[in-house]
Amino acid sequence: GDRAKRDWFSDDNEAWGDAMQQIQRFSDRWNLWLLAQSAERTVSVRIDYLLERVSPGKARVWTGEVGELGYSTSGLDPVLLFDAVVDSLW
């Protein structure tokens, strides 16, 4: 986050905070939408966001993609990770 804030937001803490608030609101809404599709909670979802610093202290955020189980394992053992996902279903 610090590198992205520095490189893409000119170290503008206020604009970065604005972007993070927008991401939280989008995430809450997407999670409500997912819950409306099924009474059961989604086990795993990846939501990609695109961020832009539009002016000092202001940001704009878009949803890039909402994908179920389509993400990097970030160095975790994929078998361990996906076994945990499957185990959470029962």
Q: What is the pLDDT of residue 39?
A: 80
- C-alpha distances out from residue 37 to 3, 6, 31, 79, Å: 36, 38, 10, 28
Question: What's the predicted TM-score (pTM) here?
Answer: 0.76
Is the pLDDT score of 71 beyond 70? no
Q: Reduced to 3 states, what is the DSSP secondary structure of residue 55?
A: strand
